[in-house]
Amino acid sequence: MRNKWFKRILPIIVVIIGYGGMGVIRASGDNDEEKEPVDTRPTVKIETAIAEDYQVKITSYGEVTPLESTMISAQVSGEVISWHPNFVPGGLVLSGSVLFSIEKDTYEAALLQAESDLTLAEANLIEEQARADVAKQEAKGTQVSDLYLRKPQLLSAEASVKSAKARLKIAQRDLDNCEIKAPYDALVITRTLGSGQYVNQGAQVGELYNIETAEISFPIAGFDREFLPSNLAHKKAWVSTKGHSSITREGLLDRDLGIIDQQTRMSQLVIRVEDPYSLKSSEPPLKFGSYVEVNFAGKTLSQVYKLPQNLVNNRIIWVLDEEQQMQPKKVEVVREEGEYLLIGQGLKNKDKLVMTLPEYPQKGMKVKIAEPKKELAAQQSL
């Protein structure tokens, strides 16, 4: 009985379910038709091109060297009796410091002898001058020879005085040279003498580096040469070491060496840094032999665009036209500086630069502009 009843109502249930399914399908189709079309335009970020005057920065590398070096020699012969405690490799000595002393007895005696000879010569000159005066008075009104007037004797006495003065000057110089002094503030590189050692005149006993001024000679490539300032002399420059404890010192451009290397086709410039070992300041010392980076200002370029290198490919940059379509522009790259390029011709002020390119940019491609992110008022007030 129950099965008969189920068989009778089953067709009715199937019809109801089918009708309901058709309604659902029809409703979903209507919803699809009502959906808005999907915007497939790629999103890009843009910036406005603004031309500006830009001062070129020149960068190169070089080694710190002393302005001058001096081989110290004994100027007289004798026994070394003392030497300066800083006259050792690595020692710093001030200008005028006595580096070492040679025993003076012999040279003091020579000076006394020269003084004595000068006194005798001057006494002889006085005597001859008196004799000449007497002869001149006795010969009044008569013609006499120069010999009678004792002119040869007088000239000989004058010559003896000059000779004695010369010997005195040499004796004084030799005595003074018993003390060898530093010609400038110096770093001692070598020393080859000790107390009690006998040195001969002219023997080299050490080497000094001038630490009053350091020089850095560095190359300038051809592509940098045209951007050098017109007047190099006394332009400020900055010298920096690299590493964990890097330092930066100020220097001045001094000169162009005036030649171009035949192999590298580079010219050479020189920077001077005063007081590199900081004897007269609290700045960190810039040691000789340091390999440093050199930076200084070059020419100022008028009305150029400074853009990241990744925006320029084969001298092409993409901009948006008035219809928000991408258009390529051929540009002139004036100079490369680090991660940026300086663009001369090819762009115009107010051009909309595409900063984030689609994967496959095409001429005339329509894009939409990404809106800049706005910070919350709460974040701005923090």
pLDDT tens across 53-75, in order? 999 999 999 999 999 999 999 99
Alpha carbon 17 to chain centroid distance? 89
Q: What is the pLDDT of residue 373?
A: 54
**Spatial distance between the Cα atoms of 240 and 61, rounded to a whole number of angstroms:** 9
Dump strand ranges (E) for 242-375. 248-260, 267-274, 291-308, 316-320, 326-330, 333-337, 340-343, 352-354, 368-369
- Using pLDDT thresholds of 50, 70 and 90, give the confidence band for residue 380: very low
- Minimum mean pLDDT range among 106-110, 140-144, 230-234, 272-276: 140-144
Which strands make up the sheet holding 198-199, listed edge to edge? 179-181, 98-102, 78-83, 198-199
The length of the chain, given as a count of residues = 382
Q: Burial level of 209, CB count in 10 A (0-12/13-18/19+)? A: buried
Select from 250, 345, 253 the least CA-distant residue to 303.
Answer: 345
Q: How confident is the model at residue 36 (pLDDT cuts 50, 70, 90)?
A: low
The residues near 282 (Cβ < 8 Å, ≥ 6 apart) are: none
Using left for φ > 0, alpha for ψ between -120 and 50, and beta otherwise, residue 346 falls in left
CA 109, CA 293: separation in Å to the nearest integer? 57
Least confident among 3-17, 126-140, 284-298, 328-342:
3-17
Rounded mean pLDDT, 167-190? 95
DSSP state of 311: G
Distance of CA 280 to the CA centre of its chain: 20
Rounded to the nearest 5 percent, the helix, strand and coil shares of the chain are: 25, 35, 35
Which residues, in sequence order, are CB contacts of 328 under 8 Å at separation 6+? 316, 317, 318, 361, 363
Task: Read off the DSSP letter of residue 285.
Answer: P
Q: What's the predicted TM-score (pTM) here?
A: 0.73
Residue whose C-alpha is closest to residue 292's, from 252, 232, 325, 247: 247
pLDDT band with cut points at 50, 70 and 90 for residue 381 = very low
- The single-letter code of the amino acid at 322 is E
- φ and ψ at 148, to 5 degrees? -65, -40
Three-state DSSP state, 289 = coil
C-alpha distances out from residue 300 to 104, 132, 218, 297, 349, Å: 64, 81, 22, 9, 19
Average pLDDT, integer, range 134-139:
74
Q: How far is it between the farthest Cα atoms of the chain? A: 193
Model pLDDT for residues 317-352, shown as the tens digit of each residue = 999 888 888 889 999 999 988 888 999 888 888 889
Give CA–CA dist 4/185, Å, rounded.
125
Percent of the chain exceeding pLDDT 70 equals 86
